[in-house]
Structure 1
């Protein structure tokens, strides 16, 4: 059960689920009717756990689910639904980079000046060379492809939490999904493409988008916003995650440039 701050947000979730539940073999949980319009109630998905992007089987199942979600635009004209807003990925990343510069003093305290400068430069270079996204193959995008928004049990995989759902080119979400998966496979783009050859076209077209350190930026901005009592514990985990990423990033960028 979840209470939404506005009726419009709850209506968006209800709309998405109603449309997706009409499909053969639905991959979402049903919404239970409620007398309160700002509440969304769903049944408990028993015996489930969040997927692990370090698991080959989970990666493949989630990618299949995302494909099924994106391909619903063949039956549903998502652009006609005013509750779903267009997604502008590059604008979002430009704003995220600007915020990172604003809190650079905070990051420097934990990473040092040189590492912070390198982290910011990766984003700036990627943005300066990034190809724009064409408004074609517009479909619904989940908006938050973190591992815990995909649940599995012994017989099925389901997508949950459409709070950030938007509409846009499917390749945007494929890129965001690769950003989520790469840390779990040591940033090995060749390995990722060997598992998912169908992603090669997107990678070749948007190499710079994959060079943008989106995961690191999001996590540091999140750390900055945390209350003091939770901040240090989170940062103690974020520092080794960041150091590993910064160590692997030159190889990732080189491998992408050679594709």
Structure 2
């Protein structure tokens, strides 16, 4: 068996034993990506196996993907019937089967303007399709509340200050909290911008690893765990936050991407770009999981926070001058 992920060996060994006892096909390889995302290769097929904390959550994902594909968005996976006789349930997770998309040797990244624009265009297609059926999911999915979420993220970051002061000088912490409070206050003044219809189904996690290029170079959008209902601008706001580190926090380079040339004329969009969403998210997670002892994770977050601090500060200054 192949285990690409270190740690949790006992869990994965038990899980492999469970799958072997339930599959009608012989399993010849198992590759865990995360604790609840596993690739299984059998003598007949390859499957992605994904776990959900409730059966209702699994059924919702299956229904959403069926609707998405039926309405015309084919650039994603589909759920498949597994060679098992009963529902797979192990250690608090209900497991469903997803088709395995063979990845390209050249993975998708935000490194080039061409790939960043390709991601924007795929996201646009996703929104165009989900706009047609989002009303059917309004009672099933939460409505996105970005201001409330970012207030909670800021409060948690402030609560973590005693720990954060061990890792960086207080002046950095003070300035980042100033950015956050300024951004939230301005967003409050433009609250309607973040709530205006028409609504779409928001993807909610437009990181590079949720864009998958297959062997034929077709780009797919995957992993819909954080879908919600809201205006499409919220996904583009997150996308901008994701690509800014790859363009040296350049206002002009962000503006050169189609879609953002229009959005960057909106004051409310600029207000939200000032919020250090990525820094607060990663530090809150690092402290919650006590993973600051993991040198790789720690170095990545420090690069995001301190290594890019001056570039980010200049970017925020550009926004304020523009406003």
For the criterion TM > 0.5, the same-fold answer is yes
User: Please, which runs of 5 or more residues in structure 2 have no aligned partner?
Assistant: 1-48, 89-93
Q: Is the 8 A contact 1:27 1:159 kept in 2?
A: yes
Picking from 36, 45, 52, the partner of 2:87 is: 36
1:10 aligns to 2:67 (yes or no): no
Worse-superposed segment, 164-173 or 202-211: 202-211
Partner of 2:180: 123
**Structure with bigger gyration radius:** 2
User: Please, which runs of 5 or more residues in structure 1 have no aligned partner?
Assistant: none
Q: How many residues align?
A: 258
> Cα–Cα, structure 1 residues 77 and 126, in superposed 2: closer, same or farther, change >3 Å?
closer
Partner of 1:223: 286
Q: Distance in 2 between matches of 1:150 and 1:220?
A: 24
> Cα–Cα, structure 1 residues 229 and 117, in superposed 2: closer, same or farther, change >3 Å?
closer
Q: How does 1:189-204 map to 2 (within 5 A)?
A: 189-196=251-258, 198-204=259-265
1:134 aligns to 2:195 (yes or no): yes
> Cα–Cα, structure 1 residues 257 and 91, in superposed 2: closer, same or farther, change >3 Å?
same
Query: What secondary structure does 2:230 align onto?
Result: strand
Q: Is the 8 A contact 1:28 1:159 kept in 2?
A: yes
Query: What secondary structure does 2:184 align onto?
Result: helix
Question: Which one has the bigger helix percentage?
Answer: 1
Question: Which one has the bigger strand percentage?
Answer: 2
TM-score, reference length from structure 2: 0.75
Q: Distance in 2 between matches of 1:109 and 1:25?
A: 47
1:151 aligns to 2:207 (yes or no): no
Q: How does 1:24-63 map to 2 (within 5 A)?
A: 24=72, 26-34=74-82, 35-36=86-87, 38-48=94-104, 50-63=107-120
Q: Distance in 2 between matches of 1:81 and 1:23?
A: 17
Partner of 2:36: none
1:248 aligns to 2:311 (yes or no): yes
1:161 aligns to 2:223 (yes or no): yes
Q: Is the 8 A contact 2:291 2:297 kept in 1?
A: no
> Cα–Cα, structure 1 residues 234 and 256, in superposed 2: closer, same or farther, change >3 Å?
same
Q: Is the 8 A contact 2:51 2:96 kept in 1?
A: yes
Cα RMSD over matched residues?
1.9
Greater RCO structure (CA 8 Å; 6+ sep): 1
Worse-superposed segment, 156-165 or 222-231: 222-231
How far 1:244 sits from its partner (Å)? Answer: 2.9
How far 1:126 sits from its partner (Å)? Answer: 1.1
> Cα–Cα, structure 1 residues 102 and 232, in superposed 2: closer, same or farther, change >3 Å?
farther
Query: What secondary structure does 2:127 align onto?
Result: helix
